[in-house]
Amino acid sequence: MKILVTGGAGYIGSVVVEQLIEANESVIVFDNLYQGHKDAVHPDATFIEGDLNNRAAVNAVFAEYRPEAVMHFASHTLVGESMENPFLYLGENVANGLNLLQSAVRHNVRRFILSSTANLFDDPERMPIDEAERIVPGSPYGESKYILERMLCWLDQIYNFRYAALRYFNAAGASVERGEDHHPEYHIIPIVLQVALGQREKVMIFGDDYPTRDGTCVRDYIHILDLAQAHILALRALDKGSRVYNLGNGQGFTVKEVIETAREVTGHPIPAEVAVRRPGDPATLIAGSDKIRRDLGWQPKYANLRDIIQSAWDWHLSHPDGYSS
């Protein structure tokens, strides 16, 4: 199948592209390189540098390459930033997604995978969080993804648009060639590994007074290759109907456990210091992913936190300066 991947130069998108190509799919990457890296794009993918806010450019990609499916990763993705600059999210994320959807419909493409988020569940009534949980977006970021999910729901009804919304919990780890390289970096695992590499002095723990087993936040870390597999399975199932899945391992680890595991993996002491809470962080987020296991036979291969951190560490050791090295 020919697949258009927006944001295919970014962390998650680039690994999904790699896995699609390994599965013999044909891939066109559309990315503005705002966060992404040209070197992260698999050499067998067609790369187009462009912005989703440019409707003519988006239409031209559909007209020229005639994709049969779209995977949409290109997005601003930081909860904290969205609380400071909501229009980047409620504006750009939504408008860019809308441009893409309009072009897809216009060019008769009816298969779409949306990268969505656990930030739809700011106030969960049950843990783990399954797809029956009520939606309470935690920030303009989560809201922007929810708006796109709602658009997809209507397009399905009106145009038979088949979509999957995949709500990731904490994507982590690396493939051999591709890993996490954000500037600046906000995510706990790469930050901890930068301390081990000597690029930072210490890691700040954002709050140790949460109602969790050691007072630090609990998150469900999911390996990027397992996430990629979920995209491929969802794509193949689309013709049987639209679907929404929560994606995680169903197991939570505290920030302190992440740091301790990274100490074991790297052999580095990784100094840590407790700081104030980061605004907007819920205490615990654990995914209930039985639905995708049941429906699609999805089975994570790297469910163990140690393996996830080891893969990220291997990538950081081979790319100490990220993609610039």
From the list 104, 174, 205, 232, which residue makes contact with ligand UDP (rule: CB under 6 A)? 205
Q: From the CB of 156, what's the least distance to ligand UDP, in Å?
A: 28
Q: Which residues of 274-295 are buried (b: 16+ CB within 10 A; e: fewer)?
A: eeeeeeebbbbbbbbbebbeee
Q: From the CB of 142, what's the least distance to ligand UDP, in Å?
A: 11
Q: From the CB of 16, what's the least distance to ligand UDP, in Å?
A: 18
Helices (H), 138-266: 140-159, 188-196, 224-237, 255-266
Structure tokens at 105: 């419909």
Structure tokens at 51: 């912005």
Asked if 12 is part of the footprint of ligand UDP (rule: CB under 6 A), the reply reads: no
Helices (H), 69-139: 79-84, 86-87, 94-106
Q: From the CB of 164, what's the least distance to ligand UDP, in Å?
A: 21
The full DSSP string for 67-81 is -SEEEE--S---HHH
Asked if 77 is part of the footprint of ligand UDP (rule: CB under 6 A), the reply reads: no
From the list 74, 193, 203, 227, which residue makes contact with ligand UDP (rule: CB under 6 A)? 203
From the list 2, 55, 182, 187, which residue makes contact with ligand UDP (rule: CB under 6 A)? 187
Under DSSP, the state recorded for 276 is P
Catalytic residue among 141, 146, 168, 302: 141
Given the rule CB under 6 A, which of 18-26, 85-93, 159-167, 200-208 is the region that contacts ligand UDP? 200-208
- Identify which of 2, 73, 65, 81 has the alpha carbon closest to the alpha carbon of residue 32: 73
Given the rule CB under 6 A, which of 58-66, 100-108, 185-193, 293-301 is the region that contacts ligand UDP? 185-193
Asked if 191 is part of the footprint of ligand UDP (rule: CB under 6 A), the reply reads: yes
182, 12 contact by CB (below 8 A): no
Mask of contacts with ligand UDP, 258-297, x by CB under 6 A?
--------------------x--x----------------
Beta-bridge partners for 113:
71, 164
Residues labelled catalytic: 141
